[in-house]
Amino acid sequence: MIFINLAASIDPLESALFDILEDKIATKLAIQPIIKLSDMSVFGYEVLSRWDEFAPDQIFRTAERFGTVGQLERLILSKVLDVLDVVPYPLFINVHPSIPNPKDWRELPKDKVVLEITEDAAIRFPAVQSLRDFGFALALDDLGKGSANLEALALIQPDYIKLDKSLIQSPNLMARNSLIKSLIDHAGRVKANLIVEGIESAEHLLSVKTLGVSLAQGYYLAKPELLY
């Protein structure tokens, strides 16, 4: 007789995902400041989802496998709505690249929220345009991480451009600074605010200040803090 250990065959991420969707595992929110470098004041906050035992990208990849991204986003949105009155504004909130349910975002106050869209979302332009039509400001997130940079910029026409942390953390200082400077110039031409992510050292901070960057984010400036 062959005995099967059913417990061992259950994917812990799959189990965690469905527990999260049923609120058996708490979905927590953290906020990380975006800093205005001219006076080192807080300009806004990026909202980040957190779970005790799993990284957000693990949970979202599992949700992609099971077609529950929309359900997961609705859960996170409900948590955001619960804290809107106690969190300073503006809030930068990530939208999954698949943008499964654009209409769900209409519940959020347009004047207090910036929606972060990745380069991958550019191929779903009608959904992105729906978010714009609802009145939201848009941020193109992780610019420099993928390959559709200029196309995504032209298509989405974001109000904010967030440079991926890999740019400031590149060891090739000359190429790095030249690229960031060109993106600062481009942002100015299209009237977008540039935010550099990944500031994790004094050298990073000095570099972006020297280059004329106005807004930045990273662990050296401020770490994410749990709201509850």
d(CA 165, CA 168): 6
Is residue 53 assigned to a domain? yes
Find all residues with CB under 8 Å of 81, minimum gap 6, and list them.
107, 108
CATH number for the domain harbouring residue 111: 3.20.20.450
Note the pLDDT tens digit of each residue in 145-161. 755 567 777 778 899 99
Is residue 4 assigned to a domain? no
Is residue 3 assigned to a domain? no
> What is the helix, strand, coil percentage profile of the chain, to 5?
45, 20, 35
Above pLDDT 90, what percent of the chain? 62
Mean pLDDT confidence for 96-122:
89
Is residue 1 assigned to a domain? no
Find all residues with CB under 8 Å of 93, minimum gap 6, and list them.
46, 47, 80, 108, 113, 114, 115, 116
Confidence category of residue 3, pLDDT binned at 50, 70, 90? very low
Domain tally for the chain? 1
Is residue 2 assigned to a domain? no
Is residue 192 assigned to a domain? yes
Is residue 84 assigned to a domain? yes
Q: Where are the alpha helices (DSSP H) in 47-172?
A: 56-66, 69-83, 125-133, 149-156, 165-168
Question: Is the whole-model pTM more than 0.75?
Answer: yes
Confidence category of residue 136, pLDDT binned at 50, 70, 90? very high
Could you tell me the residue range of the domain that residue 59 belongs to?
Answer: 11-226
Is residue 189 assigned to a domain? yes
* The two structure tokens encoding residue 97: 């690249």
Mean pLDDT confidence for 113-140:
88
Confidence category of residue 56, pLDDT binned at 50, 70, 90? very high
